[in-house]
Structure 1
Amino acid sequence: MDRSGGQSEDPFAGEVRGELSPRAARALWWGSAGLVLSVLGTSVIVAGTEHGRRLPMAVALVLAQVCALRWQPRAPVAVLAVNAVTGLAVWALLPAVTLTGALLAAQVSLCMLSATRPRRVSVWALAAMCLPAPLAFGRGGGAGLMVYLLAVVLAWTVGQWRRAQRERIRAELRRAVVEERARIAREVHDVVAHTLSVMVIQAGAADDVFTEQPEQARQSLRAIETGARSALGELRLLLRAFRPDAEHDGTGEQREPVPSLARLDELADSVRATGMTVHVQCEGATDGLPAAVDLAAYRIVQEAFTNTLRHAAGADEVSVRVTAEGECVEVTVVDNGRAPQGSSAAAGAGRGLVGMNERARLVGGSLRAGPLPGGGFEVAARLPVEGAL
């Protein structure tokens, strides 16, 4: 799980789909603008000293390119066209500026377009960027032509590399979701099988005493009704989790008993054995929860513990709070660690967060996770009880 990021209800949202968060978009703009201003802006000022009348117009065109870069995550094709036209205008005004430098902003836009748009679109953009190559040859000869083509192809290639990286992250997240859904399906199967077995026994007991002890038969029938409602909720969860893209598990491995919040102290003890201080606080009755909600809450706490042990640098204390109210169960896990420098979902992290989100989503709940302002990391889930019945 990536401790440096926040949460998202959709595990494939954001940059994995080619979109950028507002913070990432601002960082991209500042970086691109700084590059264009420092390289192209400096070249324009130096070359414009001998063309006093042309310098203000060239500077205005450079600023227009910088402003256009603000919208490149949303409309990279339009921004590329604007930067290409203004870049050629700068080069026409100040021939002392190389064509490669004048079209620097366009190359940045080409990189962004290559990373976020289909390959056929980026290939057409690459071809369009190669059209001014004869101008580079006419001004700088073979060396100028080679430098320009290398710069354009490099910008396109970097974008393709970034696109391939995003595709790999998307594949890993999809695989994580499939594995988590298959795991949920196996566990729900065990719960439903147990519930139906109890219903069969209760039905047999009710039939045996139906005439002699009608009150006991009624108790058995009420137990059957309760079990049937619970089993119905589990089957709904199973149908949501066991999608056509879920992989079939034919290993035949013996499964452990389905965990629940009743075994939360055992889970905490296993974490304490690593030297971590664990505080567990439970409010409200958790023994009557639907099995799907009970299991989801337990798995979320378990994954949050794993996240603390693996990724919380310097953490030595973690607190768990489970609050069971009338309509929902709230689970909060907070540690006092810090995110390691350089952590990134691109390195294969993020699978734990995907699993927790999937657990919460399948029972109709929500989950948020992220660092706290004063230090530490928090995982908070809200799981409805009524929606799981």
Structure 2
Amino acid sequence: MSDGYTARFPQRLRVLFAVASVVVSGSILVFTAKASYSPAAAVAVVLIAVQAAGFWWLGGRPAPAATVVLAAGAGMQVLYPVFGPGLAFVALCTYAWLRPAARTWWILAAAVAAASGPAVARGRWDLAGLWAGAALLAWSWGAWARARGARRVAERRRAVLEERARIARELHDVLSHTVSVMVVQAAAADDIFDLDPVRAREGLRRTEQAGREALAELRHFLRTVRGDEDKGDEDGDGAADEPQPRLSDLDRLAATMRESGLDVSVVWEGDGAAPAGVQVGAYRIVREALTNTLRHAGASRAEVLVRVAGDEVMVRVRDDGAGGGGSAVKDGHGLLGMRERAGLLGGSLRAGRRPDGGFEVEAHLPLRGTP
């Protein structure tokens, strides 16, 4: 079972571990064997070399390499108890870091046997218990290091996925309304092109204007994503940045929707002032709601209520569609984007079918604590 994390044991660490094992084990052997030749010393030299090779191969073939290190360490303890299982614990910890915890239980059992076995054979149960506890600690340390690395990778992946989802929703907010209007106006122009060329051309001009607005909003969005929103226009076409929409632009939005066949009225209540950030959020919520109405509800009329009073801005969009809001709910991006936009401003949004027919979207956005 994989945890989605890949730990890499670089060559420089493999060299370091192999050389360190030779230096440490060789030094102990020299002081223990008094530099005198014996069959046990010769075997120990071979085991030291084998152990170093195991550390070298730990990155590429961790399971057999760790087994070799544990076996060589146990053999050296049998020949010279003073060696101890320290290097075996290093191999155990490294293996627990290289592989998921569910696949390393066997190496923990093998390490306990290799570290405590020679002590048990000598009747040193106290030492055997100490080595068993040290093996568990080494395995836990390696497993903890892997879990931390896996958590960091998961967090980075989640951040990437969240950013992709945010960009998708923002693109939906930026383009869905204008493109929907363009499609409706182009279809209407095509229907009347032979009967009334003048009106058809007017519809095409409105389609062209909507396309230009979509390009301007897309350029602004892309600069925001790249983090260079303050830079000037780099496209060389002399197009100026469109200002961020405000509540006062809702009348113009309603006129555009009326030209697309949806009769939209805007009702204003209250005379308070709203911060720019709240106005942008409220405008985009209304625009998305009207776009869903135009695309899904099959409605002929829609009413927008804007109330700026007390400590909040309330916007409400009602249509007379035949339950078309259900399609908008299934759309996913539209309502989710509106709810997230309201939430970012510290507000709330409610959407659903009306008892007397049609669909309603209502958002409450606080005036305080917003830019």
TM-score (norm 1): 0.48
Aligned counterparts of 1:148 and 1:156: Cα–Cα separation in 2: 12
Report the alpha carbon displacement of residue 49 of structure 1 after superposing the two structures with TM: 2.5
Q: Which secondary structure does the structure 2 equivalent of 1:17 belong to? A: coil
1:369 maps to what in 2?
none
The one-letter code sitting in structure 1 at the alignment partner of 2:95 is L
The structure with the larger Rg is: 2
Does 2:187 correspond to 1:203?
yes
Q: 2:159 corresponds to which residue?
A: 176
Q: Within the alignment, does 1:18 sit opposite 2:2 as a pair?
A: no
1:44 and 2:15 are equivalent in the alignment: no
CA distance in 2, matches of 1:72, 1:172: 28
Q: What letter matches 2:83 in structure 1?
A: T
Superposition RMSD in Å: 4.2
Distance (whole Å) between structure 2 residues aligned to residue 27 and residue 202 of structure 1:
65
Q: Tell me which residue corresponds to 1:193.
A: 177
1:74 aligned residue (33, 36, 60): 60
Letter in 1 for 2:222: S
**Structure 2 unaligned spans of 5+:** 240-371
TM-score (norm 2): 0.50
What is residue 69 of structure 2 aligned with on the other side?
A: 83
Q: Is the 8 A contact 2:77 2:85 kept in 1?
A: no
CA contact (8 A) 2:7 2:97 kept: no
Counterpart Cα distance in 1 of 2:220 and 2:17: 52
Identity of aligned residues (%): 27
Distance (whole Å) between structure 2 residues aligned to residue 219 and residue 185 of structure 1 = 29
From 112, 121, 139, the equivalent of 2:103 is 121
1:1-389 matches, cutoff 5 A: 17-20=5-8, 25-49=10-34, 51-54=36-39, 55-92=41-78, 94-101=79-86, 104=87, 106-132=88-114, 133-139=116-122, 141-190=124-173, 191-213=175-197, 220=204, 259-261=221-223, 267-268=229-230, 282=234
Structure 1 residue ranges, 4+ long, deviating more than 4 angstroms after superposition = 214-219, 255-258, 261-266, 280-287
From the superposition, tell whether residues 26 and 113 of structure 1 become closer, same or farther in structure 2 (CA, over 3 Å): same
C-alpha distance in structure 1 between counterparts of 2:225 and 2:69, whole Å: 61
Structure 1 residues 235-279: Cα deviation after superposition (integer angstroms, max 9, x where no partner): xxxxxxxxxxxxxxxxxxxx999613499896245xxxxxxxxxx
CA contact (8 A) 1:16 1:169 kept: no
Task: Count the aligned residue pairs.
Answer: 229
Change (3 A) 1:262 1:115: closer
Per the TM alignment, residue 98 of structure 1 is displaced from its structure 2 partner at its CA by 3.0
Gaps of at least 5 residues in structure 1 are 1-14, 232-254, 270-279, 288-389
How far is the alpha carbon of 1:70 from its aligned partner? Answer: 2.2
Question: Which structure ranks higher in relative contact order (CA pairs < 8 Å, sequence separation ≥ 6)?
Answer: 1
Cα distance in 2, alignment partners of residues 169 and 124 from structure 1: 26
Q: In the superposition, relative to structure 1, how do residues 260 and 83 fare at CA in structure 2: closer, same or farther (>3 Å)?
A: closer
1:58–1:90: 8 Å Cα contact kept in structure 2? yes
Q: In the alignment, residue 172 of structure 2 is paired with which amino acid? A: H
What is the CA–CA distance in structure 1 between the aligned matches of 2:70 and 2:225, rounded to whole Å?
A: 63
Distance between the aligned counterparts of 1:175 and 1:69, measured in 2?
Answer: 35
